[in-house]
Structure 1
Amino acid sequence: MQHQPTTTAVADRGEAFPADLSRQIKARFHHVDHDFMGRERLFFENAGGSLRLKAALEAVAKVDAVPDSAERIHEVAAWLKQVQARGTDDVRLLLNASGGTVHASLTASGAMFDMVRAVAENVPGDNIVTTVLEHPSSYDAAAHYAQQLGKELRVAPSNRVTGGIDVEEIVRLVDERTCVLVVIYASNISGAKLDLEQIVRRAREVKPDLYVIVDAVQHAPHGLIDLQKTPVDGINIAPYKFFGCRGSGFSWLSDRAAVLPHHRLAGKRPDFWDLGSAAPWQFAVMTEIVDYVCWIGGQAGGGRDRRALFARGMERIGLHERALLARLLEGSGRVPGLRHIPGVTVLLDHDDLSRRDLILAIALEGLEHAQAVREYEKRGVIVYERVASSLYSGRMLNSLGLEGAVRVSPLHCHTFDDVDRFLEVTRDICAGSW
């Protein structure tokens, strides 16, 4: 479904980084302009993978090379403990979370299943509420434990204009017998951000002690999370989507959620969730991510408070990405935007860019989506198809009335020049040169 933008267009088109700052940012990442074999390319598939900070990989190499166990009493072990403590503090800082438990896992998906299980199995209620746009790790966890425990699964439908979920559609499903609400922060198909603050507030007006678990994996690299404004009981992030490394997931659980029965060693604290020896490099990577965002925040000058610097950095990232999104849609004097290239349909094209992360779904006339992806790759551009046959996107696409899409997902380390190159390639493909 294509939405025709109104004459008001986009009132807030963001604010791009100054050119010098953009050059510095790009230099801090691996493989922005070339792949690992040195071939020139654009990586616009950050919703599936993510460009990596050089400092994050350096932290892995340094910390993981240390053979010592952090559980010992030696000097190096004490240093590893400090690495873990600093990374734990930085997870809390990133989320603006106080108290509770930080849980390090192999994947964010695994942690989501564990959090949903702990609440579903131990909190009274005969129904579980979620949305049709959830990642499979959230939706399937909710569905599995609803079926296993004999609870009703209630699923909020999508909005085919905005590509998101209306607050009212979620709240109307919540009642005094709801066990848990499982909800995504932003769609990984359309980029639409859900109004989490309103969802949490209004759902708890219906049931004040409602447990809420949030999948923030897709949204975290694009926008600020503030658990003081959205007091949930569980939330997960994936460092590899946040400029970090694969093989790591982090979650935070509220005080009451953390002490629910869960898998743990009997000798550990009731609120301890990690199983086995920690991998200190996971925590070192989180610190590098937070350091980097704080560095961006500090470019405007002033202030030493780490959370304030981080918040300013994420705000600047969001504004730059909004400027990139506006450029993708409207183009410039150099090249027309996706809304104006013959043969391109911008799917779920909603006007208010402040309600969208930097993800676009498009269709190219005369090209099956996978074929379009291959045509982009021939021209040095990496995007990805989302199709109804995929377990990762079928449910969401069907709810939005789409058979598939080409998903375009740049990152803040990209520039207007990168966007213009993508638009030129798109125009070339649509001109039928394939």
Structure 2
Amino acid sequence: MLGQASIPLVGVVDATVIGRTGDAAALAGVALGATVIGLVFWSFGFLRMGMTGLTAQAEGAGDGSEVEALLLRALLIGGMIGLVLFALHLPIIWLAFKVLAGGEAVTLEAKAYVQARFLGAPAALCVFALNGWLLGLGRTRSALMLQVVMNIANIALDLLFVWGFDMGARGVGLGTAAAEWIALTTGLVIAGRVAGASAAGGVPAILRRTSWNKIVERAALVRLFAVNRDIMIRTLALLFMFTWFANAGARLGAEALAANHVLLQFINMAAFVLDAFAFTAESRVGNAIGSQSRAQFMRAVRLTGEFSLGAGVGLAALFFAIGDPVIAFITTDAEVRATAQKLLPFAALVPLLGMPSWLLDGVFIGATQGRALRNAGVLAAIGYIALDTALRPLDNMGVWMAISASYLLRAGSLACYIPALLRTFDRRSDPSGDPAPAGVPPRV
């Protein structure tokens, strides 16, 4: 939970450092730019999510060589995709701001932020892979260390570039991109130590003892891409929702867009804290499937569900209690503050509304049930867009009502797949109730 709570601090720091300059256009530009980066980078979030379930299953099956090969495959894929994104960043930026709304001043700041963030694309995607691998092994303390290093670097560099060098939104982007490279360097050392290599050897030591044929093994790659294809579609659907959400705020003006971005920091904090339990579910569910234990699966779901509910209630109460002063700290613009404080109840209720969907994400990711995740994500996105369109007469309140309902749509869609998930354990057992042979792969 500590590791997850620290992840959204990157966004909070970015928003606060630029928000306290009092420049609403710059804050709105970072908001719009962060939406573009989120859409592009997290389109490849399967490098984190798919890795967790696959790694946990390999660990549960006692296949240490596959655990290490999974890391190397994901780092290779992440680095290659990151380099392609960097090479194509100019046309991507041009296309993104042809689609997204925003005034001239806001768009100028957003472009500067996005261009700087693309410098960190290869590092960001490789860090996704490292986090997924560490979480799949249940090495949450190592994942926390990696995130803490990134946050400290991000805070220091943001302050240097924005308050020291007066670089505005571009400085925020540069600070975060540099922090991602620092995090990658740290993560490679951590991964090597987790795998039993020396700190000096790191991941190269793993590479030396893993054959290239093992890394590019056809069956493993087919399974990796089969799982990740559906997760990628699901992620794109959810990212499209939040891009639509940002654009809905942008249509209402810079103040509305900036206020919504401030409130998104509450949602990000809730999502990442509650994702701590979802990630635990990913690891434990994946391990249960790898060892083919229905009892272990049910225990993981029950315990993570109980903790998620308690944390959701606690976060909602906390946001209601401290929301106003936090908003006042993040931004000094009076109009942005007033708008955000008016809509705070919606953001404060998200921990309760979103808790079931985040937890079920963890269960199905750990089970590598990509099809269920894909279908639920697409259905939720379609339902959200329909609601947002119908509620437009309510202006920004309608925007928040629609996004709040989307969490319930996603949870309801995933819940429909629970009986089928439970039946996979029955199919893995013979009539006597004994577990199926260890070589039987989980159903994708």
Which TM-score applies when normalising by structure 2? 0.23
Which TM-score applies when normalising by structure 1? 0.23
Pick the structure with more strand per residue.
Answer: 1
Pick the structure with more helix per residue.
Answer: 2
